[in-house]
Amino acid sequence: MKKVFLIPLLLAAIVALDGESSWGGKLYKWVDEKGVIHFSDRRPEGPEKVIGVLEERDLEDSPRANAPPRPETTPLARSPIEHAVQCTFTIKSRSKIGTGFLVSANGMAATCKHVVESMVGPTAVLNDQSEFPLQVVSISSKYDLALVQVLGPGNLPFLPLRSDEGMVPGERLFAIGTSAGLQSTITDGVFTGFRKVVPKEERYIQFSAPVNQGNSGGPLLDSQGRVIGVVSMKTISVGGAPVTGVGFAVPTADPVEEFRYLIQ
């Protein structure tokens, strides 16, 4: 029987960066009654929603060391895949790393549930290497999906979503992610078909683009740069023998179903 494993995201060693983002104002951090960590420029609505200490930080007094100047506009992409790279970012904490991608100009982004559900103080590293706090907005109870928000500047570039209807075996696909810790790594392969993966028998897109540690939560795209899935897991062995080129992504219909009302 084929064994399917979630892409492991724990790294042997991660260099911690203490820098802060350079945009002004206050940043508040707290944990709610469900254990979800929040970052916001506004205080929580009521003290009953805060578990533990409400942390307050004055952002304008703590610019990130050696932060590159952020351009007023995103450089014009020369291809749909280059645009997709500009819309994809690294998600990191002290012990985990993964990928997310922007789905709206106000910083809303999609990733995998298993990337962020146990992260403490996640940070988003955008393609231009600027860093911003990452807030977990919603975690799906049905799929390996989460909606997060980059608490940074507005008017960010974002990716269009494509329905998986009409996909043909052999169609070329691209995966973008922080593969093995290397940000904005692009791999390509083809669409194989749809599979139901145990134990929940959920429907996944099977593809052949190579994926590694850190790819989880990244976009799976067609040649026009439209997202058709969220990279979630891969088969690493069958009967003890190593397997390559067998990856799985959550179809875009699932995040649209789960989070449409939050990203419109």
Q: Residues with catalytic annotation?
A: 114, 144, 216
Contact yes or no for 250/229 (Cβ under 8 A):
yes
- DSSP state string for the chain: --EEEEPP-B-S------------SEEEEEE-TTS-EEEESS--S-GGG-EEEEEEEEGGG-PPTTPPPPPSSPPPPSSHHHHHHHTEEEEE-SSBEEEEEE-STTSEEEE-HHHHTT-SS-EEE-TTS-EEEEEEEEE-SSSS-EEEEE-S-SS---PPB--STT--TT-EEEEEEEETTEEEEEEEEEEEEEEEETTTTEEEEEE-S---TT-TT-EEE-TTS-EEEEEEEEEEEETTEE--S-EEEEETHHHHHHHHHHH-
Contact yes or no for 120/94 (Cβ under 8 A):
yes
Q: Which of 6, 156, 30, 7 is nearest to 89 (CA)?
A: 156
What is d(CA 170, CA 138) in angstroms, rounded to the nearest whole number? Answer: 34
- The number of C-alpha atoms within 13 Å of 206 and in the hemisphere containing its C-beta is 14
